[in-house]
Amino acid sequence: MTLNRLISRRQVLRTGAAFTAMSALSPARVAMAGPTEDPFVLRAAAGQAALRPAPYGPTNVWGYNGSVPGPEIRVRQGDRIRVLARNGLDEGTTVHWHGIRTPNAMDGVPFLTQDPIPVGGDLLYEFDAPDAGTFWYHPHQRSSEQVGRGLYGPLIVEEANPIRVDRDLTWMLDDWRMTGDGQIATDFGSRHDAAHGGRIGNSVTINGQIPERIAVRSGERIRLRLVNAANARIFGLDFGGLAPVVVALDGQPVAPHAPDGDVVLVGPAMRVDLVIDMTGKPGESVTVTDVFYRDLEYRLVDLAYEPDRLRDAVPDWSMALPPNPLAEPDMQAAKRHRIVFNGGMMGQMMMGGGMGSMLEQMREGNMWFINGEAATGHMMDPLLVLPQGTSHVLEMDNRTAWHHPMHLHGHSFRVIARNGQPTRHREWQDTVLMAPEERVEIAFVADNPGDWMFHCHILEHQAAGMMGVIRVDSGTTKT
């Protein structure tokens, strides 16, 4: 097991039992400027953040506008987002708007859709938000270290008519590998991480803080937007006696349902919107536990009921979100493509099925392969070229011993089958978690022209070759 570095919340907090105020747990919000006003400035730079409660000192991080997470960008569906990204780091960077169906040129992928923003430089990102939902932003340049040091923030697109709740909360979950003195361990790019489950840390934060308790009120209905900003950690949250209802996945509405096995699964880069009725009594508390890694369960946070009650009965307000304008794939006409994933420790390839060319590439430091190829260079030949407007099914075959959250840029896709069984909700996602040895089928309309990344969002897997490009060809796309 690779999680030997995980220490429990109790150990992390051995001395400080600080009560975390609600206000401190919300990132600063920004409203978007109108088209004629100045854009919102988002500056990436080194700084410090109080990840650990008092009396511990701050941690050196890289953050946006001096905070981790960066400011919450919050707009209404259909609004134009205009952000001037400034690079205050000592190396090039970009901003990728994860899950937003932007025009290709605004996608923030270095050497594919833009050059990195140079040190001291800036770049205006400008695009509309076609879908309401929970999204996020992060660099796409040397992501393992840039995201791993704290560069990320929430991007919330509100529905024109949101569902009724008492509070709308965002929890950006992150996992840090901290040294004993509370600084970020500098072993980025470790081959061991790359060949196993990625850079798993030992300290989990919610909105940039190791939380102890969060106040709730009896009878309150909360919309909780979970965003997994960790490089590699998968969360499986158990809300104790509460009954969370999943209402959106990766920003896209889904038929409201209880999570499988009552555990809310959130792989890296994925988002889950929950509606939770706080059914406990004043003065009680309920523990949220992360149970994903067996024998390494830990208490994430306690939800503590305030002494007064908000209401007596569970409200009967609808939880169904209005659908976003996504093109429905034509399943009769859809073209099927097989995509096989190999690599990593303990996979079939290691166990004797190894093919010469992959073993050769492994000697060069590549660990993961999509259809036999590890992507390394800056320029990549497309894995697939799809004519714009056509429907496709990707039959993804995970022949590895590891989970992989596979992300496609510029599109949302329906997850239609797992191991040959149709999925119950045919959920729209932009990042789908494949379990070890699992086969997952996704379907989508290739309707957004350009060259789009398709990669594992365990950032160390991505860096070790687990990425490719899918080209949506408008007929005029230059090659």
> Which residues contact ligand C2O by CB under 6 A?
96, 98, 138, 140, 269, 407, 409, 453, 455, 457
| Interface pick for Cu ion out of 140, 404, 414, 471 (rule CB under 5 A) | 404
Residue 455 near which of Cu ion, ligand C2O, none (CB within 5-8 Å, type-dependent): ligand C2O
Helix (H) or strand (E) holding 12: helix 9-12
Q: Which CB atom, from 220 or from 430, has the smaller least distance to Cu ion?
A: 430
Q: Which CB atom, from 399 or from 407, has the smaller least distance to ligand C2O?
A: 407
456 binds Cu ion, rule: CB under 5 A: yes
Residue 458 near which of Cu ion, ligand C2O, none (CB within 5-8 Å, type-dependent): Cu ion
Residue 409 near which of ligand C2O, Cu ion, none (CB within 5-8 Å, type-dependent): ligand C2O
**Distance in angstroms (rounded) separating the CA atoms of residues 72 and 84:** 15
Q: Which residues on neighbouring strands pair with residue 238, listed in sequence order?
A: 289
Residue 404 near which of ligand C2O, Cu ion, none (CB within 5-8 Å, type-dependent): Cu ion
Instruction: Tell me if 345 sits within 8 A of 401, measured CB to CB.
Output: yes
Q: Report, in Å, the least distance between residue 407 CB and ligand C2O.
A: 5
Q: Report, in Å, the least distance between residue 237 CB and ligand C2O.
A: 20
Residue 453 near which of Cu ion, ligand C2O, none (CB within 5-8 Å, type-dependent): ligand C2O
DSSP for 258-326, written as a single string: PPGGG-EEE-TT-EEEEEEE--S-TT-EEEEEE--STT--EEEEEEEEEEEES-SS------PPPPP-P
Residue 439 near which of ligand C2O, Cu ion, none (CB within 5-8 Å, type-dependent): none
Q: Which CB atom, from 96 or from 399, has the smaller least distance to ligand C2O?
A: 96
Q: Report, in Å, the least distance between residue 375 CB and ligand C2O.
A: 12
**Distance in angstroms (rounded) separating the CA atoms of residues 55 and 202:** 19
Q: Which CB atom, from 138 or from 404, has the smaller least distance to Cu ion?
A: 404
Helix, strand or coil for residue 211?
coil
∠ CA 190-290-191, nearest 5°, is 10
Q: Report, in Å, the least distance between residue 101 CB and ligand C2O.
A: 13
Residue 408 near which of ligand C2O, Cu ion, none (CB within 5-8 Å, type-dependent): none
Q: Report, in Å, the least distance between residue 269 CB and ligand C2O.
A: 5
409 binds Cu ion, rule: CB under 5 A: no
Side by side, the strands of the sheet bearing 450-456 are 384-387, 467-473, 450-456, 404-408, 431-434
Instruction: Tell me if 42 sits within 8 A of 85, measured CB to CB.
Output: yes
Helix, strand or coil for residue 331?
coil
Q: Report, in Å, the least distance between residue 455 CB and ligand C2O.
A: 6
Pairing of strands 235-238, 335-343: unpaired
Token pair for 279: 């059914």
**Distance in angstroms (rounded) separating the CA atoms of residues 163 and 275:** 10
Q: Which residues bind to Cu ion, rule: CB under 5 A?
A: 404, 456, 458, 461
